[in-house]
Each structure stands twice: as C-alpha cells, then as structure tokens.
Amino acid sequence: MAGDRQDLEIIEVERSREILGLGFSGAVRFGEMLAAEGELRGLIGPRELPRLWTRHILNCAAVAPFLPEQGAVADLGSGAGLPGVVLALMRPDLDLHLVEPMERRVEWLGAVVDELDLDNVMLHQVRAEELHGRKAFAAVTARAVAAMQKLGRIAMPLLEPGGVLLAQKGKRGQVELEEALPALKRLGASTWAVHEIDLLDDGDVTRVVQVGRR
C-alpha cells in the first residue's frame, strides 16, 4: 500500500508540473505559505487544508487555457490569491491586477508577491466597481465571487472591447449562465460558453464560464 501511495504521489507531482508549467515551483511555495498561514488569517477553512493543492491551487490552472495572449488581467475578489497568484506564476508575460477590498487580505497578497518575487502583479485595495471607467482589461477572472448575474454587472464594465470574463464555477455554472444571459447581453456580451475541465482526469470537473465582450 505504501508503495502504491508513493507511486500515486509521483504521478500527481509530474502531472502538476505539466499543468502548471513555469509556475510549478512558485505554486509549491505559495501552497506552503497558505498551509502555514491560510487558516490563521481566515483565508481558507480547516477542512480545506487536506485538499489545498488539488482543490484550490492546482484547480486555478483550469482558467489558464482561456487567458489572452497578451495584455492585462484583473482578478476580482482575489482574497487568498486564487486564482490570481497562480495565474501570475503561470503567465509571467501577462500583467495581473489583484482586486481585493479587505486590507488584511491585501496585506497577505503583498507578502505573497514579495516572497514569490512577482513583478507582473499589481494590487488594488478597492471594490471592483471603483475601477469602472478607470481601468480596462483584456480579461477578468473570478473564483467564488458571486453568481453570474451579479458578477456580470461587476466585471463586464472592466473589459476592453474583445475582452473576456472567465468565471470558475461549480455544478451550477451552466444554469447561472443561462439565467444571467439577458443581463449579460445588455452589458455587451457577444459570445458565451461553459468549459468543463478535468485537470487530473479523476472525475473532479471544474467549470469555466467564458463570456466575451463585443
């Protein structure tokens, strides 16, 4: 049994390297920081610690295939840094703007940025709505921020023409998109899709709702 477990761990590490690419070593360090301080700082619950790597850090990579080739990306409600920090590690060629209104969470994000030497990250201690009319991004990401209808009102005004909203969702992703479509269209949505991503081929599916702005 111990040998089987060790083989499985080796497979998971190699698969993680493949998925995270350039971001693997930084993501490992980020995971260590979250494991050490995340619960104490109120960033993750105690029940999440055993699945911190697969359910939270690695899971953020589901968004990466849909990011633009270049430009600036805003991560709304960054909190612990999921998915913004992971995406910044994976895509050092993109400028990541982590938007988080809570001071203690911004302090945490600042410590993470310093520790991981992320020179492609900018922190914004504001509510996302405060950036309306001031900033425009090639993409906006969000994980566990709000239902699609509310998220659309927050995120769509931050997209430049041709930009894309990428929202990580659970099982209700398709339903949320359908319920929000009338409002999203009024906000300029021209394309939409739900992508089902099984990163580890283990049946644990992440849904990425993709909404493009005309």
**pLDDT tens sequence across 2-25:** 443 444 465 588 999 999 999 999
> CA-CA distance, 58 to 54, in Å (whole number)?
5
- The total number of structural domains in the chain stands at 1
pLDDT at 132: 98
Tell whether the model's pLDDT for residue 1 goes beyond 50.
no
- Residue-wise pLDDT for 131-157, tens only, equals 999 999 999 999 989 999 999 999 999
Q: How far apart (Å, rounded) are the C-alpha atoms in residues 109 and 104? A: 9
- What pLDDT sits at residue 117? 98
Which long-range contacts link 22-29 to residues 24+ away (Cβ below 8 Å)? 22/89, 22/90, 22/92, 23/61, 23/86, 23/88, 23/89, 23/90, 23/91, 26/89, 26/116, 26/118, 27/57, 27/58, 27/86, 27/89, 29/115, 29/116
The domain that contains 27 carries what CATH number? 3.40.50.150
Average pLDDT of the segment spanning 96-122:
98
CA angle 74, 79, 84 (to 5 degrees): 40
- Domain range holding 58? 2-213
pLDDT at 10: 59
Dump pLDDT digits (tens) for 22-45: 999 999 999 999 999 999 999 999
Supply the pLDDT for residue 3: 40
pLDDT of 71? 97
